Structures are given as C-alpha cells and as structure tokens.
Amino acid sequence: MRVACAAGAGGAVTVGADMEGTQDRPHVNPVASAVARCEVRGGRFPISSVELKKLERYPASGMPSSEPPILARGADLDVAILREMYPGRGVSISGIDPRLNANRLAGRLGISRAKVASRLRAWADSGFLRRFDVWPNPFLFGLTGVTFDVRASDRLRKSELFERLALVHGAVGGFELVGEWIAVTFVLPIHEDPARTAALLRGISGVAEVGGGISWGPSSAGRPLSPLDLRIVRVLRRYPTESLAAIARHVGVSTRTITTRYGRLLDEQAVWFVPVLDFRAMAEPVVSLNVLFQTSADREPFARALRRHHPHSIEFVRATFGPVLPDTSGSYFVVVPSAARVEELERWVRESPGVETVEALTLVRLVSFPDTFDRLIDTVNPPPTGRADSSRPRSRI
C-alpha cells in the first residue's frame, strides 16, 4: 500500500486564491442573495474568510449533523481551475499561488470572471473547500517531512483515530481514504530516523498496521526567516483569507511593507498555502492513482494518454522538495462520473502500455493538525507578552 505521494504531506491537493481585500462586505446568505462574494477587485481573495468560517458549523470529525449541500457537478471547470492554481499546473506539496484571483484565473482559462467566481463560491458553500492552512517551509527550521500509511483496525472509526494521531509529535496533516487505510504526515528533524515515529504509531489504539514511510527529498532552505517574517507567518496562519491591509494591521506595519514581504515569502517558497478539502462534498468520486511503470520512459506517454482518455485528471508533480518518488512511478488524481466507474478506470490503467502495477484509492478528505507549526513558530519567535492567541483554532481534524 502506498498513498504518501497522493497525500502530499496531508495537504498536497491544493487550490489557491489572492489575499487582497475580502472584508469590505458582510456575508449574505447565499440562498437569499445572488451577491458574488468571490468578486475580485484589486486582487482580492476569491473566497472570503466569512464564508469559510461558516463551514465550521459542521462537526470537525465524522459526517456533518446537518448535511451541507453537495457541490453541483462541474468537473470540467473544477479541474481547469485547479490546474491553473498550481505552479506547474500539477499538484505539489508546497500548494498554490495565493496571488491568483478570479480575474487572473478567468484570463488564463479564457472564460468570464463571474463563472470562475461563482464556482469558487460553490466550493465554499458546499464544504468542498473547508479552509486554508498556511505552512512555513519546514526546511527553514531544519525539518523534513515523512508520510506513513496507517491501517485502521476499524475503518468506520478513522475520525477518532485521526484525533489520536494529531497528538503525536510532529503531526501536521493527513489524508483519509475509503477503506481501512489513511495517510499521515509528520515534520521531523532532518537527521531523525523515521522508524522511531513508525514504532510510536504502532502502539496507538486503533492502529492495526503501519506501512513504510515515504520521506521528502533534501532541499536548499533559502534565507532564514526574520522576526518580522515570523510575525507575518503567524498572522497569515490565523487569518489566511484576510486582505493584506488587514494583515498589516494585525502585524503592526504598513500595507506597503506587508505587500513586499508577502511577495518575497511566496517567491522564495518560504510559506505554503494548503487548502483543506473535503471530497465528501463532491457528487463525483475523486480517485488517487499510484502507478508503477516498467521503465521511467513509460511515464510521460502514460500521462498523455490519461489526459486524452480521462481529461478530468491532474498529475502529482515532482518538485525540488517533497516526497521522493522513484522515476518509474507516477501519481494522478482523477474525477470519475460515478463510484461504479472506479474499477473501469483501474482496469484501463492496468491495461495501458508500460504499466507494471496500479493502485486506485478513493479520496475522502484532507485533515490538518495546526499545533505542530503553531508551537514551532512560538518557540523561535514567542508572541508578545499578554497577547496570547486565544482565537487560534486548536483542532482542525
């Protein structure tokens, strides 16, 4: 079993948006108003923090007590938007470029801004996009990532298992799949043996088996974060969808300073915007394909064939940092019309030229555990005395 590359460190299936100006209008009930809250003027974030916060009325674990609406079918547009949001037009561990707003996405796609904005709003209304998590690049702190496959002893109690796994040192996120298996990602000191964490996981109640971990490759960490950078990252983690003007007020500097620093943090990949997605909100299943090829030369022809035969697909791209994958492997995400078509997709992949083996896994949701990065930032840059972060959410399972 190998799902680590699909998990993308607990948040690699990523979408994005711009940070500018989201607080000038109150949220209006979408049933009572046709106001496009994702309207963009001057580079504003396509989905407001108000809209994302309303999703918290659904329980953190398990199925909602009051079901959110299902995201209307629209795989063509969803996949097109996702591709454009990623640098390199493929899923990567470091997430999306949040400077892309609905105007820019519409220009790239050759469609109206209203159409893009409406779909982004539907992502929030349906609960498909629950929130954004902002990660500082762990390599800047001497950390690297490793993702473990974990088999639950009870496949119907995986939500409770995630709650226990969130307490393990270094846990940052995970990926729930249909069936017994989940994937959990940790950030650990670069020279620490991941086997220690694997042994700890095996002793947790509800864990039946722990697979071999997939580690991230080495990366040049870039320049260290300054105290001001760390203050900005802390505020971005608390208010990931607010305008840069609001971020500047929280940090206590000018909007011009924030704009410059924010752009530098993104350009240097010092901060990652990772969305927390819930695939239960989608009408169509999303399948993660982990493919082993006979030779590395078979990978690109297969990717082209997959795009032709299954256009609602996105590839997990290799980056300068992230899970180390063999040259003879590939990972892909495919939206299929119905659950009945999953085996048909798997059979098509298995019979494709150059394919040695394939594993098809239906996605359920992403989870995030914020405490690890919160503690890390507070350790290297303690918050001002008397300004404890009482508003920070402590659980995002």
Strand pairing report for 313-315 and 329-335? antiparallel
Q: Which residues pair with 210 in a beta bridge?
A: 150
CB atoms within 10 A of CB 335: 23
Looking at residue 227, its pLDDT comes to: 94
Extended strands (E) in the chain: 129-136, 143-152, 171-177, 181-189, 207-210, 214-215, 271-277, 286-293, 313-315, 329-335, 355-368
- The whole-number pLDDT of residue 274 equals 87
DSSP 396: B
CA 340 to chain centre: 27
**Domains of the chain in sequence order:** 280-366 (3.30.70.1150)
Sign of CA dihedral 250, 252, 255, 261: negative
d(CA 181, CA 148): 10
pLDDT tens for the chain, 397 residues long, are: 544 443 333 333 333 333 333 333 333 333 333 333 333 333 334 444 444 444 444 344 444 445 667 888 888 999 999 888 887 777 877 778 887 888 989 999 999 999 999 999 999 999 998 888 999 999 999 999 999 999 999 999 999 999 999 999 999 999 999 999 999 999 999 889 999 999 999 999 999 999 988 888 766 667 889 999 999 999 999 998 888 999 999 999 999 999 999 999 988 889 999 888 999 999 999 999 999 999 999 999 999 999 999 999 999 887 666 777 889 999 999 999 999 999 999 999 999 999 999 999 999 999 999 999 999 999 988 887 654 443 444 445 5
If we measure between CA atoms, which residue out of 294, 293, 232 comes closest to residue 265?
232
